[in-house]
Amino acid sequence: MRCFKHLILKMPNKISFSSFGHKNILSTQRNTLEFTRESGLSSEGDCIIGVRSDFSLEKIRKFLSSINPKSEIVITIRARGISEKVSAIPNFNFSSDSEIVVRKTGFLSERTLGIWADKSSNELSRTLVSEMRSPNCRIKVTIEEGPISKKEKIIKIPF
């Protein structure tokens, strides 16, 4: 009789949340992109690409604790059939319950979920940004564990 080894398949580590568009979304900031729980948006918020976000800090912290510390995170932004991916180094000290910021630089704060990102808000598809200017546009954001990073990184920095 043949013996079969049991394979344990690791489920992909990912979380999702919803956000909504707003008429004042500009998406012109060259260093960051941001999702906020706030419902309003002034014309000064040039990095904000989603309002009324329903992310859970608890779920994000649980997700971060479950991924390989050497992995990148991949953020998929979907709206009305258009999607865009952004990769970044995770900030394991993320602790904001009101905003998620992803940065192309290495600047860390409690609001920063990812650093050394490969895109900022001004590099997103203008078709996607145009759709996100509609207040009725539902944006689905998925954050998942990506490949092992080849970038040098700082994992835990106290604030």
- How does pLDDT run across 111-140, given as a tens digit for each residue? 999 999 999 999 999 999 999 999 999 999
Q: State the alpha helices, DSSP H only, in the chain.
A: 57-66, 126-132
Nearest to 24 by CA among 53, 55, 59, 48: 48
- How does pLDDT run across 13-56, given as a tens digit for each residue? 899 999 999 999 999 999 999 999 999 999 889 999 999 999 99
pTM: 0.87
Domains, the chain:
14-148 (2.60.120.630)
Phi and psi at residue 10, in whole multiples of 5°? -80, 125
Tell me if 89 sits within 8 A of 116, measured CB to CB.
yes
Q: Beta 138-148 vs 14-20: how paired, if at all?
A: antiparallel
